[in-house]
Structures are given as C-alpha cells and as structure tokens.
Structure 1
Amino acid sequence: MAEREWWVLKWLDLLEKYRFKKRLERGRNYARDGNILAINFEGAKVTAQVQGTANEPYHLWIKLDPFSNEDWHYIIQTLAEKAIFSAQLLAGEMPQDIEEVFIANGLSLFPFSLSDVHSRCNCPDPKNPCKHIAAVYYELADRFSEDPFVLFQLRGRTREQILAQIRELRQQGTSQEVIGETGIDDVETEEVIEKITDDTVNLEEFWEYDEPLDSSLLQMTGDSDQTVLEVLGDFPLPSAESQAVKQYLQQVQKRVYSEVVHQTSP
C-alpha cells in the first residue's frame, strides 16, 4: 500500500486516538466493502447514506466549525502572498507548512480531536461516532488524498471560491506594483497616452505605408501554417489568464486582418 499523504495521516490520526478501536474497525470495513451508498457536500457539511444491517440505509452528516468571512479574508490574503502555496494546492499537494497560515490568524485547519468534529446518524447506536459515521471518516481521508481543497470546504470555502479570491488579490497586488514602479496612476497613464496620441500620431494615416512589404515578413491570411500567436506559444501566466489573453489577441488579430483586407480590396 502506498504511503499516505501527510495531511491524510493527520486526519487519520484523529481516529487512531479514539479509544473504541473495534467500532472504528467496523467503520473501516464498511468503507472498504462499499457500504457507503452516497456521499455529498452541502456547503461545509458532508451528508451520506450508509448501508448497515437494517434494510434501509442510515442517513448521517458530518461537519467542522466553519471559519468566519473575516477569518477567510485574512487566510486567503496570506495564501495569495505566497505563490508557492497556490501552486502546490493546484497540483493536488497540501503545502507542508500550510498550518502556519492558519496559526498566524489564530486558527487551526485540522481539528484537534474527534470532539471538534460534529456528526449525527439516525441509527439506533447511542455512541458517536457509530460505525456508519466512522466509515465516512475513512472515506473523507480518501477524498482529502484526491483533493486537499475538500478539507478547506469543510471549513467554509470551496476550491473555486479560494482560487478566485487568490487570483483577484494577486492581480490587485500586480497592479499596485506597476503603479509603484512607474510613479503614475491609471488616470495619469490615460492622460499620457492621450497626449502622445494627439501630438504624435495621425490616426487617419496610421495604417498607411508607402513602400511595398515583403510578403515573407507579414502573413495575415489563413494560408499560413502558423499565426503570430501560435509562434509565440503560451504566455507565462496561469492557464486561465493565459487563455483569456490569447482569446483577446485572437479577436484583435481578426479585426486587424479584416481591416487590412477591406483597405486593400479594389
């Protein structure tokens, strides 16, 4: 059996500390034998149906205490400041020192004990966790192994929400860095561009060129094997942003080509 990831072992360690080992063993067997008929995430809560000895499956839920919106604001802000964290999470790896992010904000990503994990099952067993809940505990370990963002979801933020906020914060940070380096803000930039355009560029003659162009230098028809964008290849940006930039430039290229064809048509 392959060695489990450290964050999965940390979750499983909660179970190992539980004193009723036989109950956990039965839960593990339920998970292995396919007794978990359904498992769903409803926000930060996990709901499941587990087949026991009765004819009808038992219904249960498991949840952790979610972090507040304010807590998540500071957590994601800290994550955004360290690009390596975002890269590792996207690659399916939980950063080794991820807990430092939460500790710095007075929180803990992982529960300290099973008493910090809230659960309920409609089976007649008065003990908690029952074997049905224990089965889902082990199933969650597999889910964490496949996607570490599942653990974040139990704390109140989905993968999509976290990545969207990180991307937004990093874009804001990049904009501020550019402003700081140039010493001008967006309004000043527009004024400079407008002044340069008015003073030095004749828009009516901008696309005119008196000398014939060597056909090998400019290929704008569909007959070319590769367009300029294809020659450039992927941009050094995250995949989503790279795709968006490429699509925009493709639209610009089509407009330019259409304008050139229109200008040169008899």
Structure 2
Amino acid sequence: MTNYQIESREWWVERWLELLDSYRFKKRLERARKYSMEGNVLSIEFKGAKVLAKVQGSEVDPYQVSLSLTPFSNEDWNYVIETMSEKAIYAAQLLAGEMPANIEEVFTANGLSLFPFTLSDIHSRCTCPDPANPCKHIGAVYYELGDRFSEDPFVLFQLRGRTKGQILDALRQVRAKSVKDGGKRNSKENGKGLKKKAPKPKNTQTPLNPELFWEYEEPLDSSLVVIPSGHSANAPTSESKGILELLGNPPLPSHDAAMVRQALEQAYQIASQRAIATALNRETPSS
C-alpha cells in the first residue's frame, strides 16, 4: 500500500503530494496513481541528484523517465549545514535519521526552498509520445517518490545535491570544529589572563550551591522532552537512543573521550530519572 492511501502521512510527504495534486488535469493524475498502485514503475534509481526510472506503459519496452530539482550550490549547502549545526535539536534528530518538523526554516533563513514551489520547478522528461508534462508515467514516478520520502526523508536533500552521508559527515565536522575552536580560544584567553589580570579580591565570588544544580528558570523546548509511555520513572526505556548516542563521541583523544562519555552517561541517567519523576509528580530517585 502506498503512502498516499494512508490518512496519516509524514508532513514532508504531504508537501510533495500537495504539489502534485495542484496539477489541474485530474484525470491524468488518476491514471498516474493507478500506474503507481499497479506496479508499473519498474525501477527507480538515483544518479547524483537526478532520479532515473523505468515505467511500463502500453508498449513492450518500458519508458525512460528522468526527474530532478535544481541542486543547491556548495556555498548554499555550507550555509545550510552551518545553520543546522547551531541548534542541537536539528543535529540530534538528523543524526537519528529523523526530519525535524521546522527544517524548512533552515533553508528559508538562507534564501532557499527545500521544496519546489510549483510543478514547473521540477525538471522531468519521458520517452513516451505524450507531449504533456507531466504525463502519466512521470506522474507515477512522483507518487513513488512520495513512498521513498516516507521511508527515507534524506531523499529530499539528495534531490537538492547532498546525500545523507554527506550531510551527516558535514554536521559532525562542523560541530567537532566548533568544540575544538572554542577550547583553543578559551585556552588562549586564560593564558593571557594569567599574565595581565590582577588577582581578584577574596570572598567576592558567590559560593556554588549543589542543591541549585537541578533548577532551571527558562522553559524547555517541548521537542526536547520525551516521557516514554508504559515506563516507570525509575526505568527509562532502553530502546530509545540517548543524546550521547545521537551526537557521537566527544572530539577528544580516545582515552579522555571514554572517561568524559562515562561521566556524562551517569549524569544524564540521573538527570533523566529526576526529570521524569518530577514530571510525574513522584519522589525523585536517590543519586
């Protein structure tokens, strides 16, 4: 069963199919949908950012269909990746293979559009004799791509010139560079400070209070808070991936990275238990 037959569809699939449904020749769309449902699309493959498909029509040999969007330039993608990396939630969801609900804002902030505005923005060709575009063979490929988008939302990015692996690698590199550059900058500033800054007066620093560690006065982004159903506050689900798994190892030497990761895992486990217990109005677990 194809995704366009299911009432609840992913938002990015809806956007793609809405574009197709805007086509005014509805009878042609009905034939295209029938072709897709009956398996007339024999194959779909990617050649770079272009989609190549074979669609069985009325002739013995299948028709050759090509479809593509205008890919973004390398400079455009560099800006997009930089913007993605600035929000941890984008990086975490993309590294987990999920499409953030407001991912389009990343592109519009850089003067780009992830989705085409009209069907005329999609470059398509078919070897059939029908002069209309989209013909039913091209339309069938549109519907099949909706299924591909549902299975792997990164296909959308590939149509704009970047594969899933390229985007994830670029995200990891930008985030690692940001951490590394921040560490170097802080080290340099601290080194200069030892020579130039006068000693601070004693007893002017507010003492640290461990009891205030868990207090946070700002509201949390709801997309960052997940309470697994059917699990107690003391037993978070083991099936969902944690933030450390999504973001990968810290950009440190292997020995140091292992020590930092172990410490963070313990801290995050306690923090998640306390958060769930607080949300459920239960007593917090002992640390």
Q: Give the TM-score normalised by the residue count of structure 2.
A: 0.65
Q: How many residues align?
A: 202
Counterpart of 1:175 (choices 177, 180, 188) is 180
Q: Distance in 2 between matches of 1:164 and 1:119?
A: 30
Give identity over the alignment, percent.
Answer: 59
Q: Is the 8 A contact 2:49 2:71 kept in 1?
A: yes
Shift of 1:183: 3.1
Alignment gaps of 5+ in structure 1: 189-233, 250-266
| 1:1-266 superposed matches below 5 A | 1-183=6-188, 237-238=244-245, 241-242=248-249
Question: What secondary structure is seen at the aligned counterpart in 2 of 1:66?
Answer: coil
Deviations 1:203-239 (CA, angstroms, capped at 9, x unpaired): xxxxxxxxxxxxxxxxxxxxxxxxxxxxxxx997446
State the Cα deviation string for residues 143-181 of structure 1 (Å, max 9, x = none). 111111100000000011111111100000011222233
CA offset at residue 245 of structure 1? 8.3
What is the identity, as a one-letter code, of the residue corresponding to 2:163? T
Matched position secondary structure for 1:105: coil
Q: Partner amino acid for 2:172?
A: R
The alpha-carbon distance between structure 1 residues 163 and 110, as it changes in their structure 2 partners (threshold 3 A), is same
The structural deviation recorded for 1:86 is 2.2
Q: How much does 1:89 deviate?
A: 2.5
Output the CA distance in 2 between the equivalents of 1:23 and 1:67. Answer: 31
Deviations 1:218-264 (A, max 9, x none): xxxxxxxxxxxxxxxx9974468449989x55xxxxxxxxxxxxxxx
CA pair 182-244 structure 1, distance change in 2 beyond 3 A: closer
Q: Distance in 1 between matches of 2:51 and 2:43?
A: 10
CA contact (8 A) 2:176 2:251 kept: no
Match for 2:165: what amino acid? E
Cα distance change of structure 1 residues 45 and 12 upon mapping to structure 2, 3 Å threshold: same
| In structure 1, distance between residues paired with 2:249 and 2:177 | 17
Shift of the alpha carbon at 1:87?
A: 2.0
- The change in CA–CA distance for 1:85 and 1:240 in structure 2 (over 3 A counts) is closer
- What one-letter code is carried by the residue in structure 2 that aligns with 1:42? K
